């Protein structure tokens, strides 16, 4: 199966790195230096023409910025191979919008990835349009699971997905920043505080993933009565923090809905 990319930016590279056989890949990218960089690094074929990719590929990742999707659709009109599948990662572009842009014949899959894809630890929600074959869906899931975790969900969940895992890296990074700054305020050097915050966030996520422990149980377990964690949790668990997180996700989900 020939795999194509329209756009070879940051997210495309994250997906590309998870494809075992790079020889089967052709990428369309307008920025010459970027195309040369990926060609050198991964040995993929590159072209400035999205139409050339459309003519050759069976499975195409649409990985340009959302505002560029309409131009790509216009440029590939009449060139897409029969039976091809387009996998769109463009934020806020619904399956209905993609259907209008690319016509009735192509199979469509919408994916909401996140930035952690670049570290092979991404979270991708996958919504297939009606009519996508099980084999094609399995092939897409296999590729994306090479760059992290995947979940197949109906498209109606995508505003929530966008708010939680799509936008989530920024929120966790902010929390990490607050933790590091808190450490600095207590006298730690900047770099040390960042390391402590980063490794604690990473290690906690890893432990919870591996142990599958209930979150309340975990929190209770580490909050020994009269201890240091309990003293800290006294403040963190007060309503403002939880409410701020809820409002953050609600605002992101609302914006996602508006962009569709
Ligand atoms: N970054 C995230 O955290 C994240 C999370 C979820 C979803 N997404 C989605 O992922 C998609 C890609 O994001 P990104 O951050 O990887 O963007 P990016 O780094 O800007 O990559 C897009 C690339 O496509 C190129 N391009 C645009 N139009 C083209 C055309 N007609 N032919 C060939 N190449 C073309 C762009 O070149 P120019 O710069 O010259 O235009 C750019 O190099 C977006 O739709 C975004 O919504 C991103």
pLDDT > 80? residue 186: yes
User: Residue 16 has what pLDDT?
Assistant: 96
255: left (phi over 0), alpha (psi -120 to 50) or beta: alpha
Question: What is the Å distance from ligand 1's center to 94 Cα?
Answer: 17
Are 22 and 12 in contact, with CB atoms under 8 Å apart? no
Residues of the chain with pLDDT > 90, as a percent, come to 94
pLDDT band per the 50, 70, 90 thresholds, residue 250: very high
Cα–Cα distances (Å) from 22 to 38, 44, 45, 218, in that order, read 11, 6, 9, 42
Question: What is the Å distance from ligand 1's center to 21 Cα?
Answer: 22
Q: Which two tokens stand for residue 121?
A: 């630890």
Provide mean pLDDT across the span 36-58: 97
Residues with CB under 6 A from ligand 1: 6-12, 28-31, 34, 50, 63-66, 68, 71-72, 89-91, 113-115, 166
Q: What's the mean pLDDT when you consider all of the chain?
A: 96
Provide mean pLDDT across the span 116-137: 95
pLDDT, tens digit, for every residue of 189-236?
999 999 999 999 999 999 999 999 999 999 999 999 999 999 999 999
Q: What are phi and psi of 249, to 5 degrees?
A: -65, -40
Question: What is the Å distance from ligand 1's center to 209 Cα?
Answer: 31
pLDDT band per the 50, 70, 90 thresholds, residue 258: confident
pLDDT > 90? residue 42: yes
User: Residue 172 has what pLDDT?
Assistant: 98
pTM of the model: 0.94
Burial of 240 (0-12, 13-18, 19+ CB in 10 A): exposed
Nearest residue to 84 (alpha-carbon basis) of 109, 63, 64: 109
Are 124 and 117 in contact, with CB atoms under 8 Å apart? yes
pLDDT > 80? residue 33: yes
Atom of ligand 1 nearest to the CA of 114: 5
Q: Which two tokens stand for residue 112?
A: 């909401």
Are 52 and 103 in contact, with CB atoms under 8 Å apart? no
Tell me which of 4, 7, 15 to substitute to probe ligand 1's pocket, judged by most ligand atoms within 8 Å of the beta carbon.
7
Atom of ligand 1 nearest to the CA of 90: 45
pLDDT > 90? residue 260: no
pLDDT > 80? residue 183: yes
Residue 208's Cβ-side half-sphere holds a number of Cα atoms within 13 Å equal to 14
Q: Tell me which fold the domain 3-158 belongs to.
A: Rossmann fold (3.40.50)
Give CA angle at 72 (127, 36), nearest 5°.
Answer: 100
pLDDT > 90? residue 239: no
Q: Which CATH number fits domain 166-259: 1.10.3730.10, 1.10.10.10, 3.90.1170.50, 3.40.50.2000?
A: 1.10.3730.10
Structural domain boundaries in the chain:
3-158, 166-259
pLDDT > 90? residue 259: no
Which residue's CA is the closest to the ligand 1 atom numbered 31?
72
């Amino acid at each position: 199966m020939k795999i194509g990319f329209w756009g070879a930016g940051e997210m495309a590279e994250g997906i590309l790195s998870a494809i075992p056989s790079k020889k089967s890949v052709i990428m369309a990218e307008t920025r010459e230096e970027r195309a040369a960089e990926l060609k050198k690094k991964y040995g993929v074929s590159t072209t400035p023409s999205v139409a050339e990719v459309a003519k050759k590929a069976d499975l195409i990742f649409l990985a340009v910025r959302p505002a560029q999707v309409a131009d790509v659709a216009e440029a590939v009109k009449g060139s897409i191979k029969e039976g091809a599948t387009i996998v769109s990662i463009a934020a806020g572009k619904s399956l209905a919008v993609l259907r209008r842009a690319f016509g009735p014949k192509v199979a469509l899959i919408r994916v909401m990835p996140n930035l952690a894809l670049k570290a092979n630890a991404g979270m991708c929600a996958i919504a297939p349009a009606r009519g996508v074959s099980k084999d094609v869906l399995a092939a897409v899931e296999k590729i994306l699971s090479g760059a992290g975790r995947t979940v197949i969900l109906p498209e109606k969940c995508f505003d929530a997905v966008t708010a939680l895992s799509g936008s989530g890296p920024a929120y966790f990074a902010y929390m990490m920043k607050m933790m590091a700054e808190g450490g600095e305020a207590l006298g730690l050097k900047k770099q040390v505080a960042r390391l402590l915050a980063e490794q604690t966030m990473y290690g906690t996520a890893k432990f919870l993933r591996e142990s599958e422990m209930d979150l309340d149980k975990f929190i209770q377990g580490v909050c020994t009565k009269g201890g240091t964690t309990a003293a800290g949790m006294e403040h963190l668990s007060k309503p403002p923090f939880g409410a701020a997180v809820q409002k953050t996700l609600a605002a992101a989900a609302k914006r996602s809905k508006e962009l569709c």
